Chains A and B, each alone.
Chain A
Amino acid sequence: MSLLELQGVSKAFGGLVAVAEVTLSVDAGQIFAMIGPNGAGKSTTFNLISGLIAPDGGRVFFDGVDVTPAPPAARAHLGIGRTFQVMQPFHDMTVLENVMVGELFGHAVPKSLAEARRDAEAICEFVGISHLMPRDVTGLGVADLKRLEIARALATHPRLLLLDEVMAGLRPTEAQQAVANIKRVRDGGVTVLLIDHVMSSVRDVADRVAVLNFGRKIAEGTFAEVARDPDVIEAYLGEEESVH
Protein backbone atom coordinates (compact mmCIF):
# COMPACT_ATOMS: atom_id res chain seq x y z
CA MET A 1 0.00 0.00 0.00
CA SER A 2 1.38 3.39 -0.85
CA LEU A 3 2.02 5.69 2.08
CA LEU A 4 2.98 8.69 -0.02
CA GLU A 5 1.61 9.53 -3.40
CA LEU A 6 2.40 12.49 -5.63
CA GLN A 7 -0.02 12.97 -8.51
CA GLY A 8 1.26 15.21 -11.30
CA VAL A 9 2.88 17.66 -8.90
CA SER A 10 4.40 20.79 -10.47
CA LYS A 11 6.20 23.83 -9.17
CA ALA A 12 7.77 26.74 -11.04
CA PHE A 13 9.78 29.62 -9.61
CA GLY A 14 9.24 32.53 -11.98
CA GLY A 15 10.02 31.07 -15.39
CA LEU A 16 12.04 28.17 -14.02
CA VAL A 17 10.15 24.91 -13.80
CA ALA A 18 11.65 23.16 -10.77
CA VAL A 19 9.28 20.21 -10.64
CA ALA A 20 7.20 19.17 -13.64
CA GLU A 21 4.24 16.83 -13.24
CA VAL A 22 6.00 14.37 -11.00
CA THR A 23 4.00 11.29 -10.11
CA LEU A 24 5.49 9.11 -7.45
CA SER A 25 4.30 6.40 -5.13
CA VAL A 26 6.22 5.30 -2.05
CA ASP A 27 5.05 2.08 -0.40
CA ALA A 28 4.94 1.71 3.35
CA GLY A 29 8.08 0.04 4.67
CA GLN A 30 10.23 0.95 1.67
CA ILE A 31 13.45 2.83 1.50
CA PHE A 32 12.90 4.90 -1.60
CA ALA A 33 15.70 7.02 -3.09
CA MET A 34 15.36 10.03 -5.31
CA ILE A 35 18.47 10.77 -7.32
CA GLY A 36 19.33 13.13 -10.12
CA PRO A 37 21.83 15.83 -11.10
CA ASN A 38 22.00 19.11 -9.21
CA GLY A 39 18.98 21.27 -9.90
CA ALA A 40 16.85 18.28 -10.88
CA GLY A 41 14.14 19.36 -8.43
CA LYS A 42 14.75 16.88 -5.64
CA SER A 43 14.83 19.35 -2.76
CA THR A 44 11.86 21.21 -4.19
CA THR A 45 9.98 17.92 -4.22
CA PHE A 46 10.85 17.48 -0.54
CA ASN A 47 9.54 20.97 0.20
CA LEU A 48 6.33 20.10 -1.63
CA ILE A 49 5.92 16.92 0.39
CA SER A 50 6.67 18.53 3.74
CA GLY A 51 4.47 21.51 2.90
CA LEU A 52 7.03 24.31 3.00
CA ILE A 53 5.92 25.31 -0.48
CA ALA A 54 2.60 24.81 -2.23
CA PRO A 55 2.49 23.17 -5.67
CA ASP A 56 1.21 25.06 -8.73
CA GLY A 57 -0.58 21.91 -9.79
CA GLY A 58 -1.09 18.31 -8.74
CA ARG A 59 -1.86 16.73 -5.39
CA VAL A 60 0.01 15.17 -2.51
CA PHE A 61 -1.58 12.24 -0.67
CA PHE A 62 -0.29 10.89 2.62
CA ASP A 63 -1.76 7.62 3.80
CA GLY A 64 -4.69 8.15 1.46
CA VAL A 65 -5.43 11.68 2.75
CA ASP A 66 -5.06 14.68 0.46
CA VAL A 67 -2.58 16.85 2.37
CA THR A 68 -2.01 19.34 -0.45
CA PRO A 69 -3.56 22.27 1.49
CA ALA A 70 -2.07 21.28 4.89
CA PRO A 71 0.62 23.53 6.41
CA PRO A 72 3.97 21.96 7.42
CA ALA A 73 3.18 21.68 11.13
CA ALA A 74 -0.03 19.77 10.38
CA ARG A 75 1.89 17.41 8.08
CA ALA A 76 4.42 16.83 10.85
CA HIS A 77 1.55 15.88 13.14
CA LEU A 78 0.24 13.47 10.51
CA GLY A 79 3.61 11.75 10.42
CA ILE A 80 5.82 13.40 7.81
CA GLY A 81 9.28 14.15 9.21
CA ARG A 82 12.24 15.58 7.36
CA THR A 83 15.84 16.70 7.50
CA PHE A 84 17.36 19.62 5.65
CA GLN A 85 20.18 19.52 3.14
CA VAL A 86 21.83 22.59 4.66
CA MET A 87 22.05 21.60 8.31
CA GLN A 88 20.00 23.96 10.39
CA PRO A 89 20.44 23.26 14.10
CA PHE A 90 18.58 25.52 16.49
CA HIS A 91 21.18 27.80 18.04
CA ASP A 92 20.91 28.85 21.68
CA MET A 93 19.88 25.27 22.43
CA THR A 94 21.74 22.13 23.43
CA VAL A 95 21.72 19.02 21.27
CA LEU A 96 19.14 17.41 23.56
CA GLU A 97 16.92 20.49 23.49
CA ASN A 98 17.06 20.49 19.69
CA VAL A 99 15.71 16.96 19.70
CA MET A 100 13.14 17.81 22.38
CA VAL A 101 11.49 20.30 19.99
CA GLY A 102 10.44 17.36 17.84
CA GLU A 103 9.16 15.41 20.83
CA LEU A 104 7.25 18.43 22.14
CA PHE A 105 5.62 19.61 18.94
CA GLY A 106 5.81 16.77 16.46
CA HIS A 107 2.73 14.95 17.72
CA ALA A 108 -0.93 15.75 17.66
CA VAL A 109 -1.10 14.94 21.38
CA PRO A 110 1.27 17.17 23.36
CA LYS A 111 3.90 15.67 25.65
CA SER A 112 5.05 17.08 28.96
CA LEU A 113 8.57 18.48 29.20
CA ALA A 114 9.68 15.50 31.30
CA GLU A 115 8.27 12.97 28.82
CA ALA A 116 9.78 14.87 25.91
CA ARG A 117 13.17 14.95 27.61
CA ARG A 118 13.10 11.22 28.35
CA ASP A 119 12.00 10.30 24.82
CA ALA A 120 14.50 12.69 23.23
CA GLU A 121 17.27 11.03 25.23
CA ALA A 122 16.20 7.67 23.81
CA ILE A 123 16.34 9.09 20.27
CA CYS A 124 19.82 10.52 20.86
CA GLU A 125 20.88 7.11 22.11
CA PHE A 126 19.41 5.45 19.01
CA VAL A 127 21.20 7.80 16.62
CA GLY A 128 24.46 7.66 18.58
CA ILE A 129 24.72 11.23 19.81
CA SER A 130 23.88 10.71 23.47
CA HIS A 131 27.41 11.77 24.45
CA LEU A 132 26.68 15.16 22.85
CA MET A 133 23.32 15.83 24.54
CA PRO A 134 24.36 18.62 26.94
CA ARG A 135 26.48 20.34 24.30
CA ASP A 136 25.67 23.55 22.53
CA VAL A 137 25.14 22.94 18.80
CA THR A 138 27.78 25.49 17.87
CA GLY A 139 31.00 23.74 16.95
CA LEU A 140 29.57 20.33 16.13
CA GLY A 141 31.20 18.50 13.20
CA VAL A 142 29.40 17.64 9.96
CA ALA A 143 28.77 13.99 10.85
CA ASP A 144 27.33 14.90 14.25
CA LEU A 145 25.17 17.65 12.75
CA LYS A 146 23.77 15.17 10.24
CA ARG A 147 22.99 12.75 13.04
CA LEU A 148 21.33 15.57 14.93
CA GLU A 149 19.23 16.35 11.85
CA ILE A 150 18.05 12.74 11.77
CA ALA A 151 17.46 12.68 15.53
CA ARG A 152 15.30 15.81 15.37
CA ALA A 153 13.24 14.38 12.53
CA LEU A 154 12.87 11.04 14.32
CA ALA A 155 11.73 12.87 17.45
CA THR A 156 8.52 13.81 15.65
CA HIS A 157 7.96 10.03 15.35
CA PRO A 158 7.30 10.15 11.63
CA ARG A 159 5.71 7.40 9.59
CA LEU A 160 7.47 8.83 6.57
CA LEU A 161 10.98 10.20 6.98
CA LEU A 162 12.44 12.48 4.30
CA LEU A 163 16.24 12.48 4.37
CA ASP A 164 17.85 15.24 2.33
CA GLU A 165 21.47 14.30 1.62
CA VAL A 166 22.28 12.92 5.03
CA MET A 167 25.20 10.97 3.64
CA ALA A 168 26.84 13.69 1.56
CA GLY A 169 30.14 14.88 2.95
CA LEU A 170 30.60 11.89 5.23
CA ARG A 171 33.71 9.73 5.31
CA PRO A 172 33.17 6.19 3.94
CA THR A 173 32.96 4.64 7.41
CA GLU A 174 30.52 7.32 8.54
CA ALA A 175 28.43 6.78 5.40
CA GLN A 176 28.31 3.04 6.11
CA GLN A 177 27.13 3.80 9.58
CA ALA A 178 24.48 6.14 8.17
CA VAL A 179 23.29 3.39 5.82
CA ALA A 180 23.00 1.02 8.79
CA ASN A 181 21.11 3.67 10.75
CA ILE A 182 18.64 4.27 7.92
CA LYS A 183 17.98 0.52 7.66
CA ARG A 184 17.42 0.38 11.41
CA VAL A 185 14.94 3.24 11.14
CA ARG A 186 13.08 1.40 8.40
CA ASP A 187 13.11 -1.81 10.40
CA GLY A 188 11.49 0.20 13.20
CA GLY A 189 8.51 0.70 10.90
CA VAL A 190 9.34 4.05 9.31
CA THR A 191 9.11 4.50 5.56
CA VAL A 192 12.11 6.38 4.21
CA LEU A 193 12.34 8.66 1.20
CA LEU A 194 15.83 9.95 0.65
CA ILE A 195 17.79 12.17 -1.67
CA ASP A 196 21.45 11.48 -2.13
CA HIS A 197 24.38 11.84 -4.44
CA VAL A 198 26.50 9.11 -2.90
CA MET A 199 25.62 6.34 -5.32
CA SER A 200 27.32 3.53 -3.46
CA SER A 201 25.19 4.36 -0.42
CA VAL A 202 22.01 4.63 -2.47
CA ARG A 203 22.76 1.22 -4.03
CA ASP A 204 23.27 -0.28 -0.59
CA VAL A 205 20.21 1.18 1.04
CA ALA A 206 17.41 1.78 -1.48
CA ASP A 207 14.67 -0.70 -2.30
CA ARG A 208 13.52 1.50 -5.12
CA VAL A 209 14.98 4.47 -6.95
CA ALA A 210 13.42 7.31 -8.94
CA VAL A 211 15.57 9.53 -11.12
CA LEU A 212 14.71 13.18 -11.65
CA ASN A 213 16.19 15.41 -14.33
CA PHE A 214 15.13 18.99 -15.08
CA GLY A 215 12.17 18.54 -12.76
CA ARG A 216 10.84 15.44 -14.49
CA LYS A 217 10.91 11.85 -13.40
CA ILE A 218 12.84 10.05 -16.13
CA ALA A 219 13.14 6.60 -14.61
CA GLU A 220 12.05 4.45 -11.71
CA GLY A 221 12.89 0.95 -10.58
CA THR A 222 15.52 -0.92 -8.61
CA PHE A 223 18.97 0.60 -8.49
CA ALA A 224 20.24 -1.92 -11.06
CA GLU A 225 17.37 -1.13 -13.42
CA VAL A 226 17.77 2.63 -13.38
CA ALA A 227 21.57 2.38 -13.56
CA ARG A 228 21.36 0.80 -17.02
CA ASP A 229 18.52 3.02 -18.26
CA PRO A 230 19.79 4.99 -21.30
CA ASP A 231 17.98 8.20 -20.22
CA VAL A 232 19.60 8.00 -16.81
CA ILE A 233 23.03 7.42 -18.26
CA GLU A 234 22.55 10.41 -20.52
CA ALA A 235 21.37 12.58 -17.63
CA TYR A 236 24.49 11.67 -15.73
CA LEU A 237 26.83 12.04 -18.73
CA GLY A 238 30.01 13.54 -17.44
CA GLU A 239 29.15 12.29 -14.00
CA GLU A 240 29.29 8.63 -14.99
CA GLU A 241 31.91 7.78 -12.45
CA SER A 242 29.44 8.48 -9.68
CA VAL A 243 26.90 5.93 -10.97
CA HIS A 244 29.06 2.97 -9.99
Chain B
Amino acid sequence: MIPRRAVSAVLPAVLLAAAVAFPFWADRAQPYYLQIAINIAIFAVLALSWDLLARTGQLSLAHAAFYGLGAYASAMLTLRARVPVPVAILAGGVFAVALAAGLGVLTLRLRGIYFAIATLAFSETLRVITNQLRFTGAATGLVVPPLLGGARVAQYLVILAVLLLMVLVSWLVNRSRWHFAFTAIRANEEVAASMGVDVVRYKVLAFMISAFFAGVAGAYYGHVFLFISPIEVYSLAVSVGALVAPIFGGLYTTLGPVIGAIVLRAGEEVLRSTIGGGYLIIYGLILAAVILYMPRGLLGIWAAIVGRRRPS
Protein backbone atom coordinates (compact mmCIF):
# COMPACT_ATOMS: atom_id res chain seq x y z
CA MET B 1 0.00 0.00 0.00
CA ILE B 2 1.31 3.43 -0.94
CA PRO B 3 1.30 5.88 2.00
CA ARG B 4 -1.58 8.17 1.21
CA ARG B 5 -0.05 11.31 2.67
CA ALA B 6 2.91 10.99 0.35
CA VAL B 7 0.58 10.45 -2.57
CA SER B 8 -1.65 13.40 -1.83
CA ALA B 9 1.32 15.74 -1.32
CA VAL B 10 3.60 14.60 -4.12
CA LEU B 11 1.11 13.99 -6.90
CA PRO B 12 -0.27 17.54 -7.16
CA ALA B 13 3.25 19.02 -6.94
CA VAL B 14 4.51 16.83 -9.78
CA LEU B 15 1.47 17.63 -11.89
CA LEU B 16 1.89 21.34 -11.30
CA ALA B 17 5.60 21.36 -12.16
CA ALA B 18 4.90 19.44 -15.35
CA ALA B 19 2.02 21.73 -16.27
CA VAL B 20 4.14 24.88 -15.88
CA ALA B 21 7.18 23.49 -17.70
CA PHE B 22 5.17 21.91 -20.49
CA PRO B 23 4.47 24.91 -22.80
CA PHE B 24 8.12 25.95 -23.01
CA TRP B 25 8.96 22.55 -24.37
CA ALA B 26 5.83 22.08 -26.46
CA ASP B 27 6.04 25.51 -28.09
CA ARG B 28 9.25 24.45 -29.87
CA ALA B 29 8.83 20.72 -30.24
CA GLN B 30 5.10 20.17 -30.73
CA PRO B 31 2.99 23.36 -31.01
CA TYR B 32 -0.06 21.24 -31.67
CA TYR B 33 0.29 19.68 -28.21
CA LEU B 34 0.11 23.14 -26.73
CA GLN B 35 -3.22 23.68 -28.43
CA ILE B 36 -4.49 20.38 -27.04
CA ALA B 37 -3.25 21.32 -23.58
CA ILE B 38 -5.13 24.62 -23.73
CA ASN B 39 -8.23 22.71 -24.76
CA ILE B 40 -7.81 20.32 -21.86
CA ALA B 41 -7.38 23.17 -19.38
CA ILE B 42 -10.54 24.92 -20.60
CA PHE B 43 -12.37 21.63 -20.32
CA ALA B 44 -10.98 21.03 -16.81
CA VAL B 45 -12.14 24.46 -15.59
CA LEU B 46 -15.59 23.79 -17.01
CA ALA B 47 -15.72 20.29 -15.50
CA LEU B 48 -14.64 21.42 -12.04
CA SER B 49 -17.10 24.32 -12.09
CA TRP B 50 -19.86 21.86 -12.95
CA ASP B 51 -18.80 19.56 -10.13
CA LEU B 52 -18.84 22.39 -7.60
CA LEU B 53 -22.51 23.01 -8.37
CA ALA B 54 -23.27 19.29 -8.44
CA ARG B 55 -22.05 19.04 -4.84
CA THR B 56 -25.28 20.82 -3.84
CA GLY B 57 -27.29 18.23 -5.77
CA GLN B 58 -27.98 20.54 -8.70
CA LEU B 59 -27.21 18.63 -11.89
CA SER B 60 -26.83 21.43 -14.39
CA LEU B 61 -27.29 21.27 -18.14
CA ALA B 62 -26.86 25.04 -18.22
CA HIS B 63 -23.10 25.14 -18.38
CA ALA B 64 -23.24 25.82 -22.10
CA ALA B 65 -25.34 28.88 -21.22
CA PHE B 66 -22.68 30.25 -18.87
CA TYR B 67 -19.87 29.28 -21.22
CA GLY B 68 -21.62 30.78 -24.23
CA LEU B 69 -22.71 33.94 -22.45
CA GLY B 70 -19.16 34.42 -21.17
CA ALA B 71 -17.82 33.99 -24.70
CA TYR B 72 -20.31 36.39 -26.26
CA ALA B 73 -20.17 39.01 -23.51
CA SER B 74 -16.39 39.12 -23.64
CA ALA B 75 -16.28 39.17 -27.45
CA MET B 76 -18.83 41.97 -27.67
CA LEU B 77 -17.04 44.03 -25.02
CA THR B 78 -13.76 43.86 -26.92
CA LEU B 79 -15.37 44.44 -30.33
CA ARG B 80 -17.90 47.15 -29.49
CA ALA B 81 -16.53 48.81 -26.38
CA ARG B 82 -12.79 48.29 -26.97
CA VAL B 83 -12.38 46.75 -23.54
CA PRO B 84 -8.95 45.11 -23.12
CA VAL B 85 -9.22 41.34 -23.65
CA PRO B 86 -8.14 40.20 -20.15
CA VAL B 87 -10.66 42.56 -18.55
CA ALA B 88 -13.35 41.42 -20.96
CA ILE B 89 -12.69 37.78 -20.07
CA LEU B 90 -13.24 38.56 -16.39
CA ALA B 91 -16.36 40.50 -17.32
CA GLY B 92 -17.56 37.44 -19.24
CA GLY B 93 -17.42 35.57 -15.93
CA VAL B 94 -19.32 38.35 -14.18
CA PHE B 95 -22.06 38.27 -16.83
CA ALA B 96 -22.40 34.54 -16.27
CA VAL B 97 -22.67 35.13 -12.50
CA ALA B 98 -25.52 37.59 -13.02
CA LEU B 99 -27.28 35.09 -15.24
CA ALA B 100 -26.71 32.32 -12.68
CA ALA B 101 -28.11 34.38 -9.80
CA GLY B 102 -31.35 34.82 -11.73
CA LEU B 103 -31.51 31.26 -12.98
CA GLY B 104 -30.54 29.93 -9.57
CA VAL B 105 -33.43 31.67 -7.86
CA LEU B 106 -35.86 30.55 -10.57
CA THR B 107 -34.83 26.89 -10.35
CA LEU B 108 -34.47 26.71 -6.55
CA ARG B 109 -37.48 24.50 -6.10
CA LEU B 110 -36.54 22.11 -8.86
CA ARG B 111 -34.58 18.98 -8.09
CA GLY B 112 -32.83 16.22 -9.99
CA ILE B 113 -34.07 15.63 -13.49
CA TYR B 114 -36.49 18.60 -13.37
CA PHE B 115 -33.63 20.92 -12.60
CA ALA B 116 -31.60 19.40 -15.42
CA ILE B 117 -34.42 19.84 -17.93
CA ALA B 118 -35.09 23.44 -16.89
CA THR B 119 -31.40 24.33 -17.22
CA LEU B 120 -31.22 22.57 -20.59
CA ALA B 121 -34.23 24.51 -21.86
CA PHE B 122 -32.64 27.70 -20.65
CA SER B 123 -29.39 26.94 -22.43
CA GLU B 124 -31.15 26.10 -25.67
CA THR B 125 -33.20 29.29 -25.45
CA LEU B 126 -30.02 31.35 -25.27
CA ARG B 127 -28.63 29.51 -28.28
CA VAL B 128 -31.77 30.12 -30.35
CA ILE B 129 -31.91 33.78 -29.40
CA THR B 130 -28.23 34.35 -30.16
CA ASN B 131 -28.75 32.59 -33.47
CA GLN B 132 -31.25 35.31 -34.43
CA LEU B 133 -29.52 38.39 -33.04
CA ARG B 134 -27.90 40.35 -35.83
CA PHE B 135 -26.27 42.46 -33.12
CA THR B 136 -24.08 39.47 -32.14
CA GLY B 137 -23.47 38.18 -35.65
CA ALA B 138 -26.46 35.80 -35.59
CA ALA B 139 -25.76 32.27 -36.84
CA THR B 140 -22.61 33.35 -38.66
CA GLY B 141 -20.83 33.98 -35.39
CA LEU B 142 -18.14 36.47 -34.47
CA VAL B 143 -14.47 36.87 -35.21
CA VAL B 144 -12.87 37.59 -31.84
CA PRO B 145 -9.62 39.48 -31.09
CA PRO B 146 -6.81 37.38 -29.60
CA LEU B 147 -5.71 37.29 -25.98
CA LEU B 148 -2.16 38.65 -25.43
CA GLY B 149 -1.61 39.15 -29.14
CA GLY B 150 -1.94 35.45 -29.79
CA ALA B 151 1.17 34.37 -27.85
CA ARG B 152 0.42 30.72 -27.26
CA VAL B 153 2.69 30.07 -24.27
CA ALA B 154 1.35 33.10 -22.41
CA GLN B 155 -2.21 32.15 -23.30
CA TYR B 156 -1.58 28.68 -21.93
CA LEU B 157 -0.21 30.10 -18.68
CA VAL B 158 -3.34 32.24 -18.32
CA ILE B 159 -5.72 29.31 -18.54
CA LEU B 160 -3.44 27.30 -16.27
CA ALA B 161 -3.72 30.11 -13.70
CA VAL B 162 -7.52 30.11 -14.06
CA LEU B 163 -7.53 26.35 -13.58
CA LEU B 164 -5.31 26.62 -10.50
CA LEU B 165 -7.65 29.23 -9.05
CA MET B 166 -10.62 26.98 -9.74
CA VAL B 167 -8.75 24.08 -8.11
CA LEU B 168 -7.96 26.24 -5.08
CA VAL B 169 -11.59 27.33 -4.71
CA SER B 170 -12.80 23.77 -5.03
CA TRP B 171 -10.23 22.51 -2.54
CA LEU B 172 -11.08 25.23 -0.02
CA VAL B 173 -14.80 24.54 -0.40
CA ASN B 174 -14.25 20.86 0.29
CA ARG B 175 -12.29 21.62 3.44
CA SER B 176 -14.67 24.19 4.87
CA ARG B 177 -18.12 24.31 6.43
CA TRP B 178 -19.41 24.75 2.87
CA HIS B 179 -18.57 21.11 2.25
CA PHE B 180 -20.93 20.11 5.05
CA ALA B 181 -23.67 22.41 3.80
CA PHE B 182 -23.31 21.24 0.18
CA THR B 183 -23.25 17.53 1.06
CA ALA B 184 -26.21 17.85 3.43
CA ILE B 185 -28.23 19.75 0.84
CA ARG B 186 -27.37 17.16 -1.79
CA ALA B 187 -28.53 14.33 0.47
CA ASN B 188 -31.75 15.94 1.67
CA GLU B 189 -32.71 19.58 1.51
CA GLU B 190 -35.48 19.35 4.08
CA VAL B 191 -33.31 17.67 6.67
CA ALA B 192 -30.50 20.13 5.98
CA ALA B 193 -32.87 23.07 6.43
CA SER B 194 -34.25 21.61 9.67
CA MET B 195 -30.69 21.44 10.97
CA GLY B 196 -30.20 25.13 10.28
CA VAL B 197 -28.54 25.07 6.87
CA ASP B 198 -29.57 28.10 4.81
CA VAL B 199 -30.32 26.00 1.73
CA VAL B 200 -31.19 28.88 -0.61
CA ARG B 201 -28.04 30.79 0.21
CA TYR B 202 -25.69 27.89 -0.39
CA LYS B 203 -27.42 26.73 -3.56
CA VAL B 204 -27.34 30.18 -5.13
CA LEU B 205 -23.74 30.77 -4.01
CA ALA B 206 -22.65 27.49 -5.58
CA PHE B 207 -24.50 28.45 -8.73
CA MET B 208 -22.74 31.82 -8.94
CA ILE B 209 -19.22 30.53 -8.30
CA SER B 210 -19.75 27.73 -10.77
CA ALA B 211 -21.08 30.12 -13.41
CA PHE B 212 -18.17 32.52 -12.96
CA PHE B 213 -15.60 29.91 -13.89
CA ALA B 214 -17.72 28.51 -16.71
CA GLY B 215 -18.16 32.04 -18.07
CA VAL B 216 -14.44 32.78 -17.86
CA ALA B 217 -13.67 29.48 -19.62
CA GLY B 218 -16.04 30.36 -22.46
CA ALA B 219 -14.69 33.90 -22.76
CA TYR B 220 -11.13 32.63 -22.82
CA TYR B 221 -12.03 30.07 -25.46
CA GLY B 222 -13.23 32.81 -27.82
CA HIS B 223 -10.11 34.90 -27.46
CA VAL B 224 -7.82 31.95 -28.06
CA PHE B 225 -9.57 30.20 -30.92
CA LEU B 226 -10.64 33.57 -32.38
CA PHE B 227 -14.08 32.58 -33.56
CA ILE B 228 -17.35 31.85 -31.77
CA SER B 229 -20.80 30.86 -33.02
CA PRO B 230 -24.02 29.99 -31.20
CA ILE B 231 -24.03 26.38 -32.37
CA GLU B 232 -20.57 25.93 -30.93
CA VAL B 233 -20.41 27.76 -27.59
CA TYR B 234 -24.05 27.17 -26.64
CA SER B 235 -23.86 23.56 -27.78
CA LEU B 236 -25.33 20.79 -25.68
CA ALA B 237 -21.95 19.11 -26.13
CA VAL B 238 -20.45 21.76 -23.84
CA SER B 239 -22.94 20.99 -21.05
CA VAL B 240 -22.58 17.26 -21.50
CA GLY B 241 -18.79 17.47 -21.57
CA ALA B 242 -18.90 19.45 -18.33
CA LEU B 243 -20.68 16.64 -16.56
CA VAL B 244 -18.99 13.65 -18.19
CA ALA B 245 -15.50 14.58 -16.96
CA PRO B 246 -16.46 14.72 -13.25
CA ILE B 247 -18.45 11.51 -13.52
CA PHE B 248 -15.56 9.86 -15.31
CA GLY B 249 -12.89 11.17 -12.98
CA GLY B 250 -14.72 11.12 -9.65
CA LEU B 251 -17.66 13.24 -8.52
CA TYR B 252 -17.59 15.83 -5.72
CA THR B 253 -13.82 15.92 -5.59
CA THR B 254 -11.23 18.44 -6.76
CA LEU B 255 -8.88 16.03 -8.46
CA GLY B 256 -11.54 13.84 -10.10
CA PRO B 257 -12.99 16.33 -12.60
CA VAL B 258 -9.51 17.59 -13.53
CA ILE B 259 -8.15 14.11 -14.11
CA GLY B 260 -11.36 13.19 -15.91
CA ALA B 261 -10.94 16.16 -18.24
CA ILE B 262 -7.29 15.36 -18.94
CA VAL B 263 -7.86 11.67 -19.61
CA LEU B 264 -10.97 12.23 -21.71
CA ARG B 265 -9.54 14.96 -23.93
CA ALA B 266 -6.12 13.36 -24.27
CA GLY B 267 -7.73 9.98 -24.88
CA GLU B 268 -9.97 11.51 -27.52
CA GLU B 269 -6.90 12.91 -29.30
CA VAL B 270 -5.05 9.61 -29.15
CA LEU B 271 -8.05 7.74 -30.53
CA ARG B 272 -8.56 10.32 -33.24
CA SER B 273 -4.98 10.08 -34.43
CA THR B 274 -4.65 6.29 -34.17
CA ILE B 275 -8.08 5.06 -35.28
CA GLY B 276 -9.18 7.99 -37.37
CA GLY B 277 -12.77 8.00 -38.63
CA GLY B 278 -15.21 6.31 -36.28
CA TYR B 279 -13.03 6.94 -33.23
CA LEU B 280 -16.02 8.47 -31.46
CA ILE B 281 -17.67 5.05 -31.33
CA ILE B 282 -14.73 3.57 -29.43
CA TYR B 283 -14.58 6.67 -27.26
CA GLY B 284 -18.27 6.32 -26.42
CA LEU B 285 -17.90 2.63 -25.57
CA ILE B 286 -15.00 3.28 -23.19
CA LEU B 287 -16.97 6.07 -21.56
CA ALA B 288 -20.05 3.90 -21.14
CA ALA B 289 -17.98 1.08 -19.68
CA VAL B 290 -16.31 3.34 -17.13
CA ILE B 291 -19.57 4.92 -16.03
CA LEU B 292 -21.33 1.55 -15.81
CA TYR B 293 -18.63 -0.44 -14.07
CA MET B 294 -16.76 2.21 -12.12
CA PRO B 295 -19.46 4.34 -10.54
CA ARG B 296 -16.92 6.32 -8.56
CA GLY B 297 -14.77 7.09 -11.56
CA LEU B 298 -11.02 7.00 -11.91
CA LEU B 299 -10.49 8.31 -8.39
CA GLY B 300 -12.58 5.43 -7.11
CA ILE B 301 -10.11 3.02 -8.68
CA TRP B 302 -7.20 4.99 -7.28
CA ALA B 303 -8.83 4.99 -3.85
CA ALA B 304 -9.16 1.22 -4.03
CA ILE B 305 -5.44 0.92 -4.82
CA VAL B 306 -4.21 3.10 -1.98
CA GLY B 307 -6.85 1.78 0.38
CA ARG B 308 -8.66 5.02 0.93
CA ARG B 309 -12.40 4.97 0.95
CA ARG B 310 -13.36 8.52 0.15
CA PRO B 311 -11.09 10.63 -2.04
CA SER B 312 -11.16 14.36 -1.48
Contacts and interface: CB of A to CB of B under 8 A. Distances in A.
B196 A92 contact: no
B188 A105 contact: no
A102 B195 CA distance: 5
Contacts of A104: 177, 180-181
Interface size class of B (residues with CB under 8 A): 20 to 34
A152 B194 CA distance: 10
A106 B180 contact: no
A110 interface: yes
A126 interface: no
A74 to B, nearest CB: 8
A101 to B, nearest CB: 5
A25 interface: no
Interface string A69-101: 001110011000110100011111100010011
A110 B180 CA distance: 13
Contacts of A73: 193-194, 196-199
B184 A90 contact: yes
Interface in B267-292: none
A100 B180 contact: yes
B68 to A, nearest CB: 31
A93 B310 CA distance: 9
Contacts of B198: 73, 105
Given A110-B177, A113-B176, A72 B184 contact: no
A180 B120 CA distance: 52
A97 B176 CA distance: 12
A50 B194 CA distance: 7
Interface in B191-241: 191-199
A136 interface: yes
B177 A90 contact: no
Interface string A24-59: 000000000000000000000000001110000000
B196 A91 contact: no
A146 interface: no
Contacts of A89: 187
Contacts of B310: 92, 136
A213 interface: no
A77 B195 CA distance: 8
Contact of B196 (A52, A93, A106, A136): A106
Contacts of B252: 92
A51 B193 CA distance: 9
Nearest to B186: A92
B27 interface: no
Nearest to B185: A90
B175 to A, nearest CB: 8
Contacts of B134: none
A90 B196 contact: no
A71 B193 contact: yes
Nearest to A134: B309
Nearest to B202: A105
B196 A88 contact: no
B180 A97 contact: yes
B183 interface: yes
Contacts of B193: 51-52, 71-73, 76
A92 B195 contact: no
A147 interface: no
A107 interface: yes
A152 B188 contact: no
**Max chain A C-beta neighbours (<10 A), residue from B183, B184, B190, B198:** B184
Contacts of A88: 187-188, 190-191
**Max chain B C-beta neighbours (<10 A), residue from A93, A106, A107, A116:** A93
B177 A72 contact: no
Nearest to A50: B194
A104 B195 CA distance: 9
Given A73-B198, A92-B186, A92-B252, A105 B191 contact: no
A52 B187 CA distance: 16
B183 A107 contact: no
A47 to B, nearest CB: 9
A104 B176 CA distance: 10
B205 to A, nearest CB: 14
Given A97-B180, A110-B177, A156 B196 contact: yes
16 contacts: A71-B193, A72-B193, A76-B195, A84-B190, A90-B183, A90-B184, A92-B183, A92-B187, A92-B252, A97-B180, A101-B195, A102-B195, A105-B196, A152-B195, A155-B195, A156-B196
